[in-house]
Amino acid sequence: MSLLGGMSSWIDEHFELRLRVLGIVMTGFFALFVVRLFQLQVVEGQEHLERSQRNSIRTERIASPRGELVDREGRLLASTRAAFELEVVPSELRDKDRTLAVLGKLLGGDDPERARHAVLSARGRARFQPVRLEDDLSFEQLARIESHRHALPGVLTEVHPLREYPYGALAAHVIGTIGEIRPSQLEDRRFTGYRQGESIGQTGVEALLEQHLRGHAGGRNVVVDVAGRAVEVLDQVEPRAGGRAVLTLDVDLQQAAEDGLRAAAAPGDPAAGVVVALDPRNGDVLVLASLPSFDPNAFPGGIESAAWKALTSDPLKPLQDRAIAGQFPPGSTYKPLVAAIALQEKVRNPSAGTFCPGSFAYGNHVFRCWNKRGHGTVDIHRAIVQSCDVYFYRAGLDIGVDRMAEYMAAFGLGSQTGIGLESERAGVNPSSAWKEKRFGKPWFSGETVSISIGQGYVVLTPLQLAVAYGALGTGQVVRPRLVKESVSPDGVATPEPVEIVRQVPIDAQNLEIVRKALRGVVVEGGGTGRRAQVPGLDVGGKTGTSQVVKLEHTEGMSDKAIPWKYRDHAWFASLAPVDAPEIVVVVLAEHGGHGGSAAAPVAQRVLARWWEKQHAAPPPLEAAMIEPSDEDSHGAH
């Protein structure tokens, strides 16, 4: 029993010892836990609170791809590609100045001012919304930034859709540009639902079709860590791409037009001018060229300040669409319209002649004809073919300014064509009432003499002249259209309707008389537009020259001796085939000199390319060139 009692006592003592050791260990662990808890909750509590607040959920917007623009044959004029974008979230920047300075170096420069300006200009936007700094990172820039992201909280890189224009400056004015929405636009009801930072169409077709091309943005909620990096995507709504638009433009004809304008410029002179080509039957605008131009690829994401300054300070105004916003005196291209009115009003008949001695005395002023020797007796056909000023001086006086203004308004002059582009101007279709309202003075009949040959107060846009010549060809004014059809994201095509604005109040036989004379300008001896001939194609047209300064300032000087900005503008307005026109081409070679030698060859290029595409290929352009006549070199008409 004593042995058993001793063993029991030993076991109890040993167990009690183990319990004490276990208690000490547990007490130690608990003490460590309390100490660590105290450290986390009290000593480091504020730091972990801030970290937990930063490790939050962010709502991100996913931009939608903008709809494509294609020409009438399906060639891409504007598309969207994937690009890497650099953004910062102002509320997550720990040290803004340091972060922006580092970003400047990572992007390849030492100046953080551009990035700082972008952040400051975002005032008024919620601080948690991303601010875009760079729109199209190179892979080298992306790699440098990503390798330092751990040290740059608040800096984001995202893949986003970027607008791209494959043809660069070709047709840039009509295609247009996109840019960040302006504060004034955000207040416009048309842009309800837009927000600061979005890119929208600002000019051209990009603006005209903004709602169709825009699409619908998506979004996602993501969990981000303290460095602003996405840890987990909680949910996501995919964006919907914008619709597609098929334009009426023809890239081949547009290229021929712009190349022609450059070729028309004398060595050392800038290439400046306009070409408009349209189908008078339905209003399709085939060409809308304006030089000098610009590259619209510089605008998506924000154009560089130096590039913007260069464009806006250029005296040639490359951002201006001369085709719809340039207002010029039409010169002798106006005469066929006056002829049609004179026939309709019966102040002239086709066979009656008017004697041209080379000048016309009216009141105390002598109005000269471009041909100082005179044209002799000419009927309406020869007056158009040889561009006799005296004939139209007299015809205009017999019509009267107010009757002329009524007819010109019917041809579409003095009002916008309805093409839909915001920068379109209306020109001036002068009348006695217009002058009284504009200047508070009465109309003088001597002013009618000037406007009868497209000078004086009358100014128009090249597009207006193209529409008017279309009406000479078909008898009706058709609204020019740039969109052939719109295609929804689901693939449903909606054709743009053809809109006949009005019938012109000119009898068909009178229009035919004028068209035959236009044919004579191109094919008859003494015609001033012979350099517009295209073998196999029946072309009619009218040359014109509009004065920039008064004749006495440049009389006797050679074209080369006259400073470029003071030289006359050269016009050529044409249609083909003459009997049933399918195309109208109007050319303005700005400060180009004479219509027959500067503008007509440009129209010839476009007409030849059109004929080649529509029918059979003509001989090379060089074979169709004809040396200018005396009227071309002396007759600015």
| Neighbouring-strand partners of residue 232 | 223
The tokens of 195 are what? 């927000």
pLDDT at res. 627: 43
Enzyme catalytic residues: 332
pLDDT tens digits, 263-292: 998 888 899 999 999 999 999 999 999 999
Which amino acid belongs to residue 322?
R
Rounded Cα–Cα distance for residues 354 and 376 (Å): 8
pLDDT at res. 628: 43
With a cut of 90, say whether residue 498 has pLDDT above it: yes
pLDDT tens digits, 212-248: 999 887 777 777 666 556 667 777 777 788 899 999 9
Give the CA count within 13 Å in the CB-facing half-sphere of 222. Answer: 16
> Could you give the percent of the chain with pLDDT greater than 70?
80
CATH code of domain 251-313+321-634: 3.40.710.10
Residue with the bigger pLDDT between 84 and 5: it is: 84
Report how far apart, in Å, the C-alpha atoms of 114 and of each of 118, 152, 159, 580, 594 are.
Answer: 6, 18, 21, 58, 48
pLDDT at res. 99: 73
pLDDT at res. 147: 75
What pLDDT band is residue 636 in, cutting at 50, 70 and 90? Answer: very low
The tokens of 44 are what? 């480091």
Backbone dihedral region for residue 23 (phi beyond 0: left; psi -120 to 50: alpha; all else: beta):
alpha
The residues near 528 (Cβ < 8 Å, ≥ 6 apart) are 385, 386, 387, 521, 543, 595, 596, 629, 631, 632, 635, 637
- Please indicate whether the domains covering 57-247 and 251-313+321-634 agree at the CATH topology level: no
What pTM, to 2 d.p., does this model score?
0.82
Nearest to 311 by CA among 323, 299, 325, 328: 299
With a cut of 70, say whether residue 604 has pLDDT above it: yes
pLDDT tens digits, 385-406: 999 999 999 999 999 999 999 9
pLDDT at res. 100: 73
User: Which region among 254-258, 383-387, 394-398, 594-598 has the lowest average model confidence (pLDDT)?
Assistant: 594-598
Sole residue written with tokens 């510089």: 298
pLDDT at res. 635: 42
> Could you give the percent of the chain with pLDDT greater than 90?
54
With a cut of 50, say whether residue 304 has pLDDT above it: yes
DSSP notation for 566-586 = GSPEEEEEEEESSSS--EEEE
How crowded is residue 89: how many other Cβ atoms within 10 Å of its Cβ? 20
Nearest-5° Cα angle at 185, 183 to 186: 65
Contact 453, 335 (CB under 8 A): yes
Report, at the CATH architecture level, how domain 57-247 is classified. Alpha-Beta Complex (3.90)
- In SS3 terms, 423-484 reads as CCCCCECCCHHHHHHHHCCCCCHHHHHHHCCCCCCCEECHHHHHHHHHHHHHCEEECCECEE
User: Which region among 30-44, 318-332, 448-462, 497-511 has the lowest average model confidence (pLDDT)?
Assistant: 30-44
- In SS3 terms, 147-200 reads as CCHHHCCCEEEEEEEEEECCCCCCCHHHHCCEEECCHHHHCCHHHCCCCCCCEE
How far is CA 335 from its chain centroid?
Answer: 31
- What is the residue-averaged pLDDT of the chain? 84
Rounded Cα–Cα distance for residues 338 and 453 (Å): 8
The tokens of 437 are what? 């309202």
Structural domain boundaries of the chain? Answer: 57-247, 251-313+321-634
Query: 569-576 and 540-546: which strand pairing?
Result: antiparallel
pLDDT at res. 629: 43
Rounded Cα–Cα distance for residues 536 and 612 (Å): 10
What pLDDT band is residue 584 in, cutting at 50, 70 and 90? Answer: very high
Residue with the bigger pLDDT between 401 and 196: it is: 401
Rounded Cα–Cα distance for residues 432 and 137 (Å): 60
pLDDT at res. 626: 43
Rounded Cα–Cα distance for residues 599 and 317 (Å): 21
Backbone dihedral region for residue 585 (phi beyond 0: left; psi -120 to 50: alpha; all else: beta):
beta
With a cut of 70, say whether residue 52 has pLDDT above it: no
The tokens of 626 are what? 């004809």
pLDDT at res. 13: 65
